[in-house]
Amino acid sequence: MKKTIKEIKKRTVNPPCGLCGKSKKPRYKTECCGNWVCGDESEYVMFSYSRDICSRNHRRFTLCGHHNVEEHEDDWRTCKKCREDFEHELEMYVWYGMNEYNFEKLPNPPAFKPTYCSKCGERIILPDGGYSSLCGVYRCDNCPITEKERGEIILEYKSKSQDK
């Protein structure tokens, strides 16, 4: 077989963003996994909840990023500490490991119990937000916790934790 010799031109341009695929914004290598992502966290406007900054999304909303920020050891995919950090909201753990801000997804995500509004029973999708929670009681946005209920929930929580 004849070998074809291709001329490889050296490019000094960074690869496109591994998350959105764009090359418009400046790209940086992530600290956690060495992938190229676009966007500078300093562009983030406080409380804008913007998800346009890929570098921020990866650092803040993935297990890979969380694992690195929290300075855990070993691999995030098998990290017990990461799992413990999300034990009370396993749905978030799965989302952090599986969402579109990941380069590699969590192998064998655990099954989690869905969360329901304690008043109307509506399913609450934790990663989507639009709910409030107090002492493990979840409410959808249509059923905000009233002042009276707030007191009751806290009282019940306290009596439960005393039983233990």
Indicate the SS3 state at residue 36. strand
Cβ neighbours of residue 2 closer than 8 Å, sequence gap 6 or more: none
What's the one-letter identity of residue 63?
L
CA-wise closest residue to 15 among 41, 37, 45: 37
Applying the rule CB under 5 A, the residues between 27 and 46 that interact with Zn ion are 30, 32-33, 38
Q: How far is the CB of 164 from Zn ion (least distance, A)?
A: 27
Applying the rule CB under 5 A, the residues between 115 and 154 that interact with Zn ion are 117, 119-120, 122, 140, 142-143
Judged by beta carbon, residue 28 or residue 157, the one nearer Zn ion is: 28
Q: Does 94 engage in binding with Zn ion (CB under 5 A)?
A: no
- The one among 36, 79, 115, 145 contacting Zn ion by CB under 5 A: 79
Half-sphere exposure of 38 (CA within 13 A, CB side): 15
Q: Does 106 engage in binding with Zn ion (CB under 5 A)?
A: no
